[in-house]
Amino acid sequence: MVNPAEVAASQDPLSDEEVVAQVLAGETGMFEIVMRRHNQRLYRVARAILRNDGEAEDVMQDAYVRAYEHLDQFAGRAKFSTWLTRIAVHEALARQHRGNRYQELEPMSEREGDPMDRFASLAPDPEQQASNSEIRRLLEEAVEKLPDAYRTIFMLRDVEDMSTTDAADVLEITEQNVKVRLHRARALLRKSLYARAGMERKEAFNFHAVRCDRVVKNVFERIQKQVSKTDNSAAKTQ
């Protein structure tokens, strides 16, 4: 039987698509690899939409279970990571809609605001380095205050480094709309502290190991229940 931990730690790791093929072939435990591989991204995008840690974790679990249930429908037209992230976005938006909190933003002209493609990259001085923890907290608060659609785009593009094409695919909007929203998000953040933060933006909104273990455990418990139900149903029909 394949050991997911050994596969994940190997020097020549399997691609997501190869892992999916093995899961579909019966190696259910291999699904842990893609969960641990994408927990950070799914947490960040769900957290960006819902602004609640607990709800973001719930959405992650729902997204993984839904993805597992429909693995045979993954056609490879997009990267698996894009397909999985889109499921998480749909789950988060559905939960947000149920709470009647979502507000759709109209596309804005790219000429609006500060015409800036990227934030300035400023090397931090020793005083800035000493205050990185506080700056990180202030950055997270500033991102929290962004309008919903801008916050999600910022998470996908500037925190997760997702391409414009993939972000558009995940959110099912045009690439131009992605660029417009990202431009506006950066302009809004620039008014506060992001340009002088002097920190790695990837340190923000971390999904820690304890949460990762909890999500993996809960998802596998739900999958096992479904497998047991399927086995019982098959036995009754024989």
Tell me the domains of the chain and their CATH numbers: 4-102+208-237 (1.10.1740.10), 126-203 (1.10.10.10)
Per-residue CA distances from 119 to 99, 189, 201, 231 (Å): 34, 9, 12, 54
Q: Extract the residue ranges of the chain whose pLDDT is less than 70.
A: 1-12, 99-132, 135, 192-204, 238
Cα–Cα distance measured from residue 27 to residue 4, given in angstroms and rounded to the nearest whole number = 9
| pLDDT for 6 | 62
pLDDT of residue 32: 96
With beta carbons less than 8 A apart as the criterion, state whether 222 and 42 touch.
Answer: no
Integer-rounded Cα radius of gyration of the chain: 20
User: What pLDDT is attached to residue 203?
Assistant: 64
- With contact defined as beta carbons under 8 Å apart, do 109 and 180 qualify? yes
The pLDDT of residue 115:
34
Of 18, 47, 12, 50, the C-alpha closest to 31 is 18
pLDDT computed for residue 22 by the predictor: 94
> What pLDDT sits at residue 129?
55
204 CB contacts (<8 Å, ≥6 apart)? Answer: 136, 139, 140, 143, 159
Q: Write out the two tokens for 84.
A: 């999985």
- Whole-model pTM above 0.75? no
Question: What per-residue confidence (pLDDT) applies to 114?
Answer: 41
Residue 54's pLDDT is what? 92
